[in-house]
Structure formats: C-alpha cells, structure tokens
A = this chain, B = another copy of it.
Amino acid sequence: MNAEIIAVGTELLLGDILNTNAQYLARQLAGLGFTVWHQSVVGDNPQRLAQLAQQARQRSQLVIYSGGLGPTADDLTKETIAAAYGDTLRFDEEQYKRIADYFTASGRSVPANNRKQAMVPVHGRTLQNDNGTAPGVVFEQDSRMAILLPGPPKELVPMFEKQVRPLLETLQDGVLYSRILRVYGIGESRLEELVGHLLEGSNPTAALYAKTAEVTVRVTAKGDTLEQAKTLCGQLADEFYRLLGDAVYDEGEEGMEKTVVQLYSRKGMQLATAESCTGGLVSQRITSVPGSSDMFQCGVCSYANQVKARLLAVRQPTLDRFGAVSLQVAGQMALGVRALARADVGVGITGIAGPGGGSEEKPVGLVYIGAASKEGVWVYKMLLPGRSRDTVRWAASQKALDMARRLAAGLPLADCVHCSDAQLDREV
C-alpha cells in the first residue's frame, strides 16, 4: 500500500523550522510496511494546498498531513482537505468543551478564534489531542484516506502512536514486528564491519541509524501472525546481541537516561552528579524520565573552583597542581558528590566544551568523566577535537550515563583508569 507525507506550513517554506515530522512519519510508515514515494511541503495557501491534495489523493492510497490545524486565520488545512475527500465540517460542542477546559484549567479565558479547532468532519472521524488544542482528523472516500495531524511534534508523535498506528495496522496484510537495539561505545564504521552481513536480508531486515554518540539498530520482521513475526525478529536480534554484547545497552525508542533510571530504581540504588562543562545536562537527562526522583536526589553544577572545593571537597592542592580539567579533579568530583548525596554512585564531569577556553595542552573537546562507587573511582579521558559545544557536551553526558550503568550492572569499565581516592593527588 502506498502512502505520502505532506507538511503544511509557510514556516517550513521559509526555512524557519526543520521538518522533523517528515522524517518521523517516513520512518513510522516504512516500519508499518507502507511504500512512500513522495514527501512535500506546501504553504498555508488554500489553492496550492487543494491542488496538491488532489494530486496526492490520485497517486497515494494514504496521505498523512501535518500542520495547519492551529486556531489562526491562515490555518485552512482542515477545510481544504475535507473538500478533496468529499467531506464537510461541523461545529462540535464536546470538542469545544475539551478546548475550553484546556484553557480554563490554567486559568485563562478561551480566545474566540479557538472555536475553529472545534470543527470536526461530518463523515470522517476525529482524533483526540492529549497535548494541545487541535484535534486530528481522518477523511476517507473510495478507499482513499487522509489523516491530518497537528504540527508540533509533541502533539503529533503521541497522537500517531496512540491513535494512528493502530488504525494503520488494520490496513496492512500480515503483521510487522520491530525491535530497536540501542548501541553505545562502537562507532558506525566499526559497527558496519562487525554486523554488516546482517543488514542484507529481506525478511527480517535490519538497518543502522547513527545518532549523536550512539547507533540504533532497527530489526523488523513480517509474518502471518504476530507470533511468527516476533520469532523471526528475535532470531536476527539474537545475532546482534551475540556480536555486540553489552554495547547493546537497551531496546526501544528512549535513550540511555531511561535505562539508567530504570536500572537504579530496580536495584534500589541512588546516583548523584557533579557537572562542570556539561552544566546540568546529565541531571536534566535523568530527571526527564518520570519516576527518577527516587534514584536521583542530588546534582551539583560546579563551574567555579570554589564550588568544587566547598561543596564537592575537591582538594585545593589538586586543583592547583593538575588544573580544574584533569583526571584527578573528575575523580574527586565523582567521589565528592557521592559523599555529599550519600549515594551509591557519583559521577563527575570536567572538561572544555568550547568554543573558547582551550589551550595546546588542554584543547577544546577534552573532557574527563569520573564515576565512583564504594570500590573506588574510574575515570575516562574523552577527546573530541573539532566538534561543536553541543556535541562535546552530549557525548560526555552519554559516557557518564554509560559508566553509571556499568557500575550498577557490574559490567567492566575497560577503557577507564581505576584508582583510589588517595591516588587522585598524584600523577596517574
């Protein structure tokens, strides 16, 4: 079954925002077994939108639209697409009540133009928006379907997951089943050498996606039954586990922070963070996971040396001798925050994220990451010259989380220096 993706919005045509919805939807449709031949962007212009809608309706059985469902006068998507699928809109009291509740719950009055969002199809169906005011819409005529989703990804993604995916699954023959393996610590090229031969099959299939400081592997199988698809998928996934070992840190859409929060919660352990160049990125990632409050009780961002010394008990002679960006200070920060928070594991990060602050001896992109448990402290030296500030910070946070994971799971930290607190006053 073929499908196409249309994003509506002048802000995309102007380049004001990046069309991440197109990638998200493309990946989902591919995963569901739809063939996508076209993606387009069109502005908030009824005539050009109507033209494209007619063309898309002819060439694609399924068309997914994103954007253009807002309350403002230039949002005409719903009316225009309704016409292309022989449908019309009516005002829906219940929908309006939902929208009104959304405003009144936060003590605001309902702007008059939000009445527009309460218009729903006469024949088609409405998709509830749990994260905003614009409902989604499904139009269907002569086995041709259009699905309209709100533009903001934080509204579109949950609506797709909860309401659109189950609908699309009913349109396909056979059952698809996918697993996403998340891999950290092996670069994309090396990974391709290790598992390249597993990427050739047609059912099950596997594909690699490089992200910042990790790679995901998507394994997908099609079967007559879910059971059959799961079995096929499982066989190929096992091969990846055999070759990649504990570099596969988890499965699913979510990142290392979720893995760490779940692991520590399950074990009843606590983690504490002391961050200099990452400035709270690790604690922010951890606390972005619901339920993190039991395993994470304390994080300190210590840019200033005096804060490192006062709160984290980093020793002044160590700062003087080795400098704030050093293996020794990273180790002492990890130990210090572990003691301060009375946690099982403490991590400490100090480095030069750039663009300023580098020297020949300590260049931009140099970061030391420490992780301390009751068995001492491990420190990793990371060097990423020429990368952006964001990339350096993200990569450091990812390594810190992986070290925290390894300490809690009893996995080796083979690429780190292991030492005792006393050794952190000396050359290591």
A126 within 8 A of B: no
A230-238, A244-252, A289-297 - the one binding chain B: A289-297
A interface majority secondary structure:
mixed
Q: In the complex, which residues of chain B have a beta carbon less than 8 angstroms from the beta carbon of A192? A: 72, 111, 113
A26 within 8 A of B: yes
A43, A71, A207, A299 — most chain B CB neighbours (10 Å): A299
A243 within 8 A of B: no
Instruction: Please list the residues of chain A having a beta carbon within 8 angstroms of any beta carbon in chain B.
Output: 10-20, 22-30, 36-43, 45, 48, 52, 70-73, 102, 105-108, 111, 113-114, 130-131, 152, 154, 158, 187-190, 192-193, 196, 207-210, 212, 216, 218, 273, 275, 277-284, 286-288, 290-293, 296-304, 306-307, 311, 340-341, 353-357, 383-391, 393
Q: In the complex, which residues of chain B have a beta carbon less than 8 angstroms from the beta carbon of A16? A: 27, 207, 209, 216, 218
CB-based contact A41/B43 at 8 Å? no
When the two chains form the complex, which single residue of B12, B30, B193, B208 contacts A14, counting CB atoms closer than 8 Å? Answer: B30
Q: Copies of this chain, how many?
A: 2
When the two chains form the complex, which single residue of B24, B37, B43 contacts A48, counting CB atoms closer than 8 Å? Answer: B37
Alpha-carbon gap, A48 to B35, bound state (A): 14
When the two chains form the complex, which single residue of B40, B189, B299 contacts A41, counting CB atoms closer than 8 Å? Answer: B40
Alpha-carbon gap, A282 to B288, bound state (A): 13
Q: In the complex, which residues of chain B have a beta carbon less than 8 angstroms from the beta carbon of A25? A: 15
